Amino acid sequence: MSAFRPLARTVAFTGEACPRANGSPFATPLQLGRFALPNRVFAAPMAGVTDRPYRRLARQLGAGYCVSEMVTSRADLRDSLKTSRRANHDGEAAPIAVQIVGTDPEQIAEATRYNLERGADIIDINMGCPAKKVCNRWAGSALMQDEDLAARLVEAAVQAARPFDAPVTLKMRAGWCAQARNAPRIARLAEAAGAAMLVVHGRTREQGYGGEAEYATIAEVKRSVGIPVAANGDIDAPHKAAAVLRATGADAVMIGRAAMGRPWLFGQIAAYLEHGTLLPDPAPAQWRDWLFAHLDDHYALYGEAVGVRTARKHVGWYVANLADGQTFRQHFNTLQTAAGQLAALRGLLGEAEPSVPFILPLAAAA
């Protein structure tokens, strides 16, 4: 039998109860416009990480929803290889959410139409990216300094998305700096402009990724609006997800860094929130097959020359917790071909089962 099976069928439940599981609203799907998301555990957009191969695997291992890496709203950059790869959604399950970054309402409207015409189902607007090259152009989290412009961008996307019956969502930080935690105000403006959901990362732009995420501002956002709110920042385990949902009253959690090289975390959190059970981490012999499928898709998207280089970081994350992971990683990073990388991984982890189908979504397995 294939080793590619749903997480819920391959690992035993320990039966440890989740305090919110009984009668919990988190056991129900989340409605986002016309889409019923199968669960409330989302994969965060991460440029250079959450590409199509990663998102496909994340969905198959239990993420209820994924958002693409950010794509520019600028039409003149659309033909670049990087942007066209980011716009590739082959084989992805609906709803396909594309995140747009930009500063000009007309450009955002045009980019909204462009992406919806090419397969996107949902448009997410990025107001969270702290990167200088984005912020210096007054995009990403810099937009939180100009609430009026932020609202106009959401409104432009909502108007452009209306003929497609496509929801528009907004991902932002708690604020620009400690003295300006204005996410609740932007949340109200975004809701009034027609946003269908908000995601809030509990850090300010000033914090970058330093310090710890705080959840009080996310709770205030949730109290300020009637649309769904997803809490994001430093969620790395089922218990933490449940605690953040309790602390914020949010409708969903969004996970970024903790699931790098650990895409089964989505299914573990979903199982805890939905069924009140803690799934143990899969053994290397189990995630090995997921990694091979991930790499197959990765090489197919990027081609061998680029794919071999970009596969290194993913593999490094997968093997990080193995006893000989660091030594293996150093060797792996010297390998120049896909065949060489796969052979090294077979040496470390054993053979994968050949031509296995992808895993079913967790929801289908329940």
Backbone dihedral region for residue 130 (phi beyond 0: left; psi -120 to 50: alpha; all else: beta) = alpha
Q: How far apart are CA 80 and CA 58, in angstroms?
A: 26
CB of 353 to ligand FMN, least distance (A): 31
Contacts of 119 (CB under 8 A, 6+ apart): 89, 96
CB of 48 or CB of 340, closer to ligand FMN: 48
CB of 98 to ligand FMN, least distance (A): 11
- Is 66 marked active-site? no
CB of 26 to ligand FMN, least distance (A): 18
CB of 201 to ligand FMN, least distance (A): 4
CB of 154 or CB of 352, closer to ligand FMN: 154
What CA–CA distances, in Å, run from 332 to 85, 132, 342, 346? Answer: 25, 31, 10, 12
| Binding-site ranges for ligand FMN (CB under 6 A) | 44-49, 69-70, 99, 126, 128-129, 171, 201, 232-235, 255-258
What CA–CA distances, in Å, run from 34 to 43, 45, 152, 168, 196? Answer: 20, 21, 23, 12, 10
Tokens of 325: 């992971």
Q: How far apart are CA 168 and CA 162, in angstroms?
A: 9
CB of 69 or CB of 214, closer to ligand FMN: 69
CB of 131 to ligand FMN, least distance (A): 8
For residue 137, give the 3-state DSSP assignment: coil
CB of 269 or CB of 342, closer to ligand FMN: 269
| Angle CA 144–235–47, to nearest 5 | 55
Contacts of 15 (CB under 8 A, 6+ apart): 277
Tokens of 80: 């670049």
CB of 7 or CB of 218, closer to ligand FMN: 218
Please pick, among 18, 66, 129, 135, the residue that the annotation labels catalytic.
129
Contacts of 43 (CB under 8 A, 6+ apart): 50, 54, 55, 58, 59, 63, 65, 66, 67, 254, 255, 256, 259, 266
Residue 43 amino acid letter: A
CB of 5 or CB of 137, closer to ligand FMN: 137
CB of 257 to ligand FMN, least distance (A): 3
Measured at CB, which residue is nearest to ligand FMN? 256
Q: Could you tell me which of 31, 10, 15, 1 has the C-alpha nearest to residue 287?
A: 10
Catalytic residues: 129
